[in-house]
Every structure is written in C-alpha cells, then in structure tokens.
Amino acid sequence: VCVCVCVCACVRMGVCLSVCVVSRALGLSTAIRLVLAEPRYIPSLSMYPTFDIGDRLIAEKVTYRFNREPLRGDVIIFTPSEGVVKKAYFNPFSDNVFIKRIVATAGDTVEVSGGKLIVNGVVRDEPYIKDGSIKSYSLDKVTVPKGYVFVMGDNRDNSYDSHIWGPLPVKNIIGRASWKYWPPSAWGEVNKADALNE
C-alpha cells in the first residue's frame, strides 16, 4: 500500500492503479506457488510412459503438510539430495528438481532382482513401468530409514534415482503430482492409473 501511495504521488491515477494491480497479482501468484501448488514440466524420459518429455502437471503442496505422509505409488517432485547434482544457490522456483515415483517408505525393504522390484519381500506388479521389467541392473536389499523414501522413475532402465544415490529425505519433497494439464489429450487427475496409491 505504501508503494502504491508513493507511486500515486508521482504519476497519473491510471498508472498507479495498474502498478498496484500488477503488484498484488504477482504477490498472490508467488504465495500460491510457494504454499499451495505449482506448475511443472517434464524434461526427460525418466518417467516414461507415465509422463513424456514436454508433459505439464500441477504439483500440489498441501497433502503432505496437512493430510498424510507420502505413500508408495505417489509421484512426487523434489529437490535432489546434496551431492546428487551440482550445488546451486537457493532458488525456490529452480528447475533443478526431479520427478519420480515413491516405491518404498520408511521401514520398507527394497531390492531389484530378476528384472523385478521387490518391496518387503513381495514382487511388485507395476503395470505403469516401461517394458514391464528392469533389464539393466539389480539392487541388493536396502532398508529405507525413518524420514526417507525410496524413489524410482517409471522408465527404470533410464532413470537417475534412488537405485543409484540412495533413499531421499522426505524433507526434500516439494509436492505431489496431482493433475496433468498438457497435452490436452492427457488432461486429468494423476490417479491410480498414474500413481498406484496403496
């Protein structure tokens, strides 16, 4: 308000009103993006076929703050752990984020053997992964520590994820992929077809 009053003293009323409206709109959109939800785009094939390069989605930020803990099957966006990528200056709108699916949560054991993901000793049925199996690697049994999740891309053979750099701290999660809005043919909620909630 003070800025608007100062501007009004210096310029005509029409310009003052425009500056005030634009300032408030920018403030509101920034607050929404920091607290409620933000748009994201898919830059790689690591989540193919669930998401393709150029797909766009909304990541909501309310569920994990007020409703529930992250679950197996949730598709999340997150900042990578320290040392996973080159460190950058703090930027809340950085594009240096990853998108992956949670495959195990705190206390779970996870391994990859014979091309299959095994969680808590049970082979997982994963109809959403590319080619139906993992061909390029195996993973010895890992127990996910408290405060962490284990994340993997749906394109398992082409994903830089927890099978390489280990469990992800829950505090690094930015939000949950909730709505796909591009391309228009894929418009809709990221639901059980895309995120196998349990």
Going 110 to 130 to 155 to 182, the CA torsion angle's sign is: negative
User: Residue 118 and residue 103: Cα distance in Å, rounded?
Assistant: 9
- Contact (Cβ atoms closer than 8 angstroms) between residue 110 and residue 144: yes
The secondary element (H helix, E strand) that includes residue 123 is strand 122-123
Of the residues 23, 44, 46, 138, only one is catalytic, namely 46
Q: Are 42 and 99 in contact (CB under 8 A)?
A: yes
121: left (phi over 0), alpha (psi -120 to 50) or beta: left
The DSSP result for 20-80, as a single string, is HHHHHHHHHHHHHHHHTEEEEE--SSTTTTTS-TT-EEEEE-SIIIII----TT-EEEEPP
The rounded distance, in Å, linking the Cα atoms of 42 and 61 is 18
Active site residue 23: no
Catalytic annotation, residues: 46
